[in-house]
Structure 1
């Protein structure tokens, strides 16, 4: 084993430089053949093939998910570091969230660690995590115990900011259906109980409640079923509601409030309400300060300076939140476009295959690998990360 961490970091950089072209080819191959949630078969084959050829022990189909995988190297009772790879794309937009760069960076970090570290008392676990954009592969993997022995979960995300961590909210989806009674709107209107009117009233009620919601919380709904014909009073109407909260506790309070509003509308309109949570939900992200500082220091040597997120700004949700509720985790943003741009756009998809995307991927791979090496080799790092995680958990943060 190398004598000191500086030597390890230098070897990691050398290993990544030697693999830079291949990693970029992988990123472009993923970008050119985008696959949506739970259909990432080609991506999973590509990534597991690279890991297997490098000597990792690969397990495919983990947690009952056909496109999920783990790859492991190392031994002993030391720390376990997980590198998380996302590789699903957006319907119609391809890799407009840059997951091709996340996968290539995580792959590069894993290969560089394997080449640079040699035999250490600890292990590197590469976790292939499908369906971040919808379905929550990490949620399933957490529940299946994939992260039970992990001491640090590391990934980066391309974005429009250079931020040390990601202000990601908790989110879930709720389906609400109102059952009324069909009738002819002119022939026997008094016999009808209009389910669509009840659903519309719920939307109106939510518009009033929206003014009282705390920062980071909101409800966005759509009508998914509103009747079958204009000359029939709708017997059944249904809406799908996306809920977000700055914290998981705030989200649960919002879920409770939505249910109360729906039941109140049902009582007032003579309908019955059915309320169903249709997704397990993403928890809010809990940044690990110890690991995030290490990542920021390492990527600064690559010429990228990270800052704290702007207060009160929230940038969507991710199933990394569920991982961060289980183990110490990081999810820094590294910009591939300017702050006036946005992901989930054609422009962002183009940037994920452009020179700035390449630079962000390689710098992040280096920083991820060096952070992982610190956890494995620097005395007390894993313990400090866990201590920070426990303090936040105790504070409900």
Structure 2
């Protein structure tokens, strides 16, 4: 009979060995469902509009602890963000808590949350009710060292497309309307605007298309921009900056512009102070030491969850403080013995923090009263 530890490690190694992009994590989602079945529980594959989302529950207590498992990868570099470790640790915590759930008076919910990198799976799941009834949402994220909390920014995506008119670049260039010129003006305007941006506002992007041949005036040009800010209000102001820069390019080059925003924005992450304190206290119990917090940076769909429910999103060290996330170096670590250790320690840390939430009377009472959807779920009966 395979031990629970073997199942946990087997899951994260399988996910690491077969990286899949967001919304395409079919093998990873099936592997998570199979791993839950090995524990003797049922898991649902496909939730709402997301076929690669997963849900499993154990226990029937009033306090609902939700564990978030990510498993999407990055283009070309695979698990350079270490989501295989996130999935393994969340599943491991579920495996540890499930037999204790009723004794602790909790319901342990494991959610496989797809597409954190590219499509905000948690936001869709939140909107479609998968998190309903949650009192605390927990996850860990791998990094070089153990950082007790992240401070990610709010973010959004803007797609910009300029449409002009093609013409021969030598014979009759005056007959064209140059979409690449508009893009160039937009980029220049953004570069100049950066000196007036507010603290923590960021703009970065890529050009996807800007003409087909050097002897043809480009009739179309398109790109994608990510904007970030400390909170949703500041985010709206920096979105407006990018829009004005795009409109300026279109006006100057006498072309048209289409600006389309992604279906939702990531909100800034606000970790729960008491749950974070419990997590930090448990770090020492697994032989880890909390490193200095990171500055505000990055973005995650867990931010949206944290704005609705008490949440934690600490960074779990892989033993190399200098490693940079979203790189092949972190991908290699996530699939190594260091990744194995992080998965097992992460499972213990999440489970121990959940137990603290269940058994600390004041914390438990606050969680039961704080969750905005808990009341709604109770009223539904």
TM-score over 0.5 (shorter chain) = yes
1:216-252 residue CA offsets vs partner (Å, 9 max, x unmatched): 3221222222223333322322222122223232222
In structure 2, do the counterparts of structure 1 residues 185 and 24 end up closer, same or farther at CA, with 3 Å as the change threshold?
closer
CA distance, structure 1, for counterparts of residue 60 and residue 157 of structure 2? 41
The aligned counterpart of 2:58 is 73
In structure 2, do the counterparts of structure 1 residues 30 and 231 end up closer, same or farther at CA, with 3 Å as the change threshold?
closer
- Give how far 1:186 is off: 4.0
The aligned counterpart of 1:56 is 41
1:17-54 residue CA offsets vs partner (Å, 9 max, x unmatched): x6333322222222222222222222212211222342
Equivalent of residue 236 in structure 2, options 252, 258, 266 = 252
The aligned counterpart of 1:233 is 217
Deviates more, 1:104-113 or 1:337-346: 337-346
The aligned counterpart of 1:137 is 121
**5+ long unaligned stretches in structure 1:** 1-17, 391-397
The aligned counterpart of 2:274 is 290
In structure 2, do the counterparts of structure 1 residues 290 and 154 end up closer, same or farther at CA, with 3 Å as the change threshold?
same
Q: Does residue 1:276 correspond to 2:260, yes or no? A: yes
Aligned residues between the structures: 370
CA distance, structure 2, for counterparts of residue 85 and residue 129 of structure 1? 6
Contact kept? 1:291, 1:385, Cα under 8 Å? no
CA distance, structure 2, for counterparts of residue 92 and residue 195 of structure 1? 30
Contact kept? 2:26, 2:52, Cα under 8 Å? yes
- Give how far 1:115 is off: 2.1
Contact kept? 2:184, 2:249, Cα under 8 Å? no
Q: Does residue 1:351 correspond to 2:324, yes or no? A: no
The aligned counterpart of 2:375 is none
Contact kept? 2:60, 2:101, Cα under 8 Å? no
In structure 2, do the counterparts of structure 1 residues 304 and 131 end up closer, same or farther at CA, with 3 Å as the change threshold?
same
CA distance, structure 2, for counterparts of residue 210 and residue 219 of structure 1? 8
The aligned counterpart of 2:302 is 320
Contact kept? 1:57, 1:73, Cα under 8 Å? no
The aligned counterpart of 2:14 is 29
**Taking structure 1 as the reference length, what is the TM-score of the superposition?**
0.86
In structure 2, do the counterparts of structure 1 residues 57 and 82 end up closer, same or farther at CA, with 3 Å as the change threshold?
same
CA distance, structure 2, for counterparts of residue 216 and residue 337 of structure 1? 29
**5+ long unaligned stretches in structure 2:** 373-381
Alignment of 1:156-175 (within 5 A): 156-175=140-159
Contact kept? 1:290, 1:385, Cα under 8 Å? no
In structure 2, do the counterparts of structure 1 residues 320 and 335 end up closer, same or farther at CA, with 3 Å as the change threshold?
same
RMSD after superposition = 2.2
CA distance, structure 2, for counterparts of residue 304 and residue 337 of structure 1? 10
Contact kept? 1:80, 1:376, Cα under 8 Å? no
The aligned counterpart of 1:10 is none
The aligned counterpart of 1:154 is 138
